[in-house]
Amino acid sequence: MKVYVGMSGGVDSSLAAALLVEQGYDVTGVYMKNWTRDLPGMQCPWAEDLADAKRVAVRLNIPFKVFDFQDEYKHLVVDYMIREYSAGRTPNPDIMCNQEVKFKLFLDAALADGADVIATGHYARVQDGYLLKAADSNKDQTYFLYRVTESALQKTLFPIGAFSSKNEVRAEAEKRQLTTAAKRDSQGICFVGSVGIREFLSQFVETKPGPIVERETGKTLGQHDGAIFYTFGQRHGLNIGGGLPYYVVGKDMAKNEVYVSTNLNDSHFWISEVALTDVHWINNQPDIGKTYQIRVRHRAPLVGAELIDNNTVKIEKAERAIAAGQSIVFYDGETVLGGGIVRS
């Protein structure tokens, strides 16, 4: 079976490729060139990552290709992210990257080039088109994969999903003398590199200062440098001195105002019923009225929740600071059911 492995230049995808070679697959490594633009004071690491991926391919004696998705990535991921933040929402570009790039563009291009299946270094498992949590609950990445389709999963392998820890992955990579064994994990926005969201957005969106307003009194407490940069529930970076800590409890993009409160019991802060949009179920729609588990953000604890109707979820215990634009993902035991995006 011919498999194209998405190789990012990191240890996870490097080991994934090595394992597939050992398992007898006809393996081709593929680097997805999604972003190459440097930002002021920050160099995009794509060239280094490409070189690392090539070195591993040479070590494994497998063919290596580069798929250029820069135009599509800018349109489908970056423009989406900018549009959502500009509307006052909190999107997740990694989820969109998986949906539109890795498991659509990459999959289609690989199949058209002769592959039977694709593989990536995600911490997840797949079985008969069902997405399952990784063995390592700390590294599990299924929250970012909930919008992948069943048909894509039927043509996808996750070779490292059964490993119990990142340390085990690194040890296995070291055992195989892969040059990426000790490479640090990438941080930041999907393939862009270690760039903070504020620095990134500043390159594309014109912002202006505005008031930070205490919700209860309407009093202006300080100035922000752009409402787009502030997220529901945020505590740090407000620069409001003295007394109890303030939290962002809302913002008005049209007025360019950010609203804060010291009241952690603020009714805007705790949410037990959430309306969803762009709902996606991987296999079958969950049963209405049945209790499942959900994750409201990556690495957040799983909590019980009931699907009231096709677009509404009732959470057993109110969750703090669920922001419009973020995703809620449903689980039934080990199986990822799908989820939706929190409506404004």
- Which are the catalytic amino acids? 97, 190
Strand order in the sheet with 2-6: 64-68, 26-33, 2-6, 117-119, 156-157
* Residue 126, CB-side half-sphere exposure with 13 Å CA sphere: 27
Distance of CA 156 to the CA centre of its chain: 18
| Cα angle: 324, vertex 326, 327; to 5 degrees | 125
| Inter-residue contact 7 to 53 (CB < 8 Å) | yes
Backbone angles phi, psi at 146, to 5 degrees: -70, -15
Measured between alpha carbons, how far is 221 from 239 in angstroms, rounded to an integer? 9
Q: Is 233 exposed, middle or buried (0-12, 13-18, 19+ CB in 10 A)?
A: middle
CA torsion 237-241-244-249 (nearest 10°) is -40
Please spell the DSSP secondary structure of 54-69, one letter per residue: HHHHHHHT--EEEEE-
Residue matched to tokens 């008969």: 128
Token pair listed for 235 = 């505590």
| Cα angle: 20, vertex 104, 147; to 5 degrees | 95
Measured between alpha carbons, how far is 274 from 268 in angstroms, rounded to an integer? 12
| Inter-residue contact 247 to 221 (CB < 8 Å) | no
